[in-house]
Amino acid sequence: MHILAEVMTADREALRRSFARDFGREPEVIAEAPARVNLIGEHTDYNGGFVLPVAIDRTIAVAAALRDDDLFRVRALDFGECDEFRWDTVRRAQGWRNYPRGVAWALAEAGHHLRGADLAVTGDVPPGAGLSSSAALAVAAGGAVCALSGIDVPPRELALLCQRAENAFAGVQCGIMDQFASALGVAGHALLIDCRSLDVEPVAFFGPDVAIAVVDSRAPRRLADTAYNQRRQECSEAARLLGVASLRDAGLEQLEANRERLPEPLGRRARHVISENRRVLDAVAALRRGDTATFGGLMYRSHESLRDDFEVSTPELDLLVELARATDGVLGSRLTGAGFGGCTVSLVRQTQLGEFRARILGEYGRQTGLEGEMHVCSIAGGLKV
């Protein structure tokens, strides 16, 4: 097996001590949820399509204990910040606060009775890098709150509530990929998710000689939420013009036959989604055969499509992918997550990792003046309470 199943990354003892110091008693539960890296299938989830993420060994952990009123107090230990809210009057806020707030709101809105609690949050997911620290925070906070209030919500339902919180509370029209990966991840496996039927199929990852290297471009992400919502709108407009319920239902021939009906950039947006869905299924077939070359080639094509047709890449991400392509031992590379900045994911022969790191980070720094950061990730399991 590629990866360790039960190793979680947060320092639970330190978290317990911080909780005890801040709230003057011991936590009753600790919930821990992983971040994710998507191997292939980008901007397909909200089009009812296919994605192939892995949950990684970078997590958000939440320690929590009940209160005897209905107040929620949340301390973000890594930011030195705190928040307070009541679930029945909770409003949208800024940044990380929206995720504990949002999940409490979504649980209450779904008819669950919440009891007030104190929560302390820590983690080792780089924030704002596109690795879904927000989904991990929502899933972990939701897991903790449910356990404390004695609410029995299966992980898949919790993930759907977290997505609802992100859509209707935080105002980002995301799909289900990040929350499903965080709640339902399986150690050593990629998750093939059919985002229409919501079927999740774990597919064993390549052997231990293939490493997952995430390189953070460390370039600021600007207006990512606005651009994301705009892409989503373009996709539904393209589907409407093609006469299908969602782009999942369209094929490339159909797109070509109707090309004059779709003003640009809608034609290119649709071409990305339709071809990306195909690439995910081809990548899963390659993964099952142990065919790293085909899988890697599909990653490069996915990147090109995201760059040229979907237009969510940046010069920094393009440079990282080109540097990877020119490095020995790299099987494939692409931007991962929503884009507009953030990270690339590369599959690299374990034996070449040292060289990969030195070359990519060195050359990236020389050409951009930015200090990229590399994380070698193992595939972890999902939410644990």
Q: Which residues contact 43 (CB under 8 A, 6 or more apart)?
A: 231, 235, 272, 273, 276, 306, 310, 312, 338
Using only the alpha carbons of the chain, give its radius of gyration: 21
- Residue 9: name the closest of 38, 39, 33 by CA: 33
Residue 303 contacts ligand GLA per CB under 6 A = no
Residue 46 contacts ligand GLA per CB under 6 A = yes
- Residues between 323 and 352 that touch ligand GLA (CB under 6 A): 337-338
- Residues between 119 and 178 that touch ligand GLA (CB under 6 A): 132, 174-175, 177-178
Asked about 178 being catalytic, the answer comes back as yes
Residue 334 CB, shortest distance to ligand GLA, in Å, is 11
Q: What is the dihedral of CA 121, 46, 192, 271, to 10 degrees?
A: -140
Distances (CA, A) of 229 to 46, 268, 307: 11, 17, 17
Rank residues 32 and 178 by Cβ distance to ligand GLA and give the closer one: 178
Rank residues 142 and 175 by Cβ distance to ligand GLA and give the closer one: 175
Q: Of 178, 249, 291, 328, which is the active-site residue?
A: 178
Query: Would you say 92 and 75 are in contact if contact means Cβ atoms under 8 Å apart?
Result: no
Task: Say how far apart CA 57 and CA 73 lie, in whole Å.
Answer: 27
Residue 163 CB, shortest distance to ligand GLA, in Å, is 8
Q: How many residues bind ligand GLA (CB under 6 A)?
A: 11
Structure tokens at 158: 């919790």
Query: Would you say 93 and 35 are in contact if contact means Cβ atoms under 8 Å apart?
Result: no
Residue 296 contacts ligand GLA per CB under 6 A = no
Rank residues 75 and 101 by Cβ distance to ligand GLA and give the closer one: 101
Rank residues 27 and 175 by Cβ distance to ligand GLA and give the closer one: 175
Rank residues 175 and 381 by Cβ distance to ligand GLA and give the closer one: 175
Residue 42 contacts ligand GLA per CB under 6 A = yes
Active-site residue list: 178
Which parts of this chain interact with ligand GLA (CB under 6 A)?
A: 42-43, 45-46, 132, 174-175, 177-178, 337-338
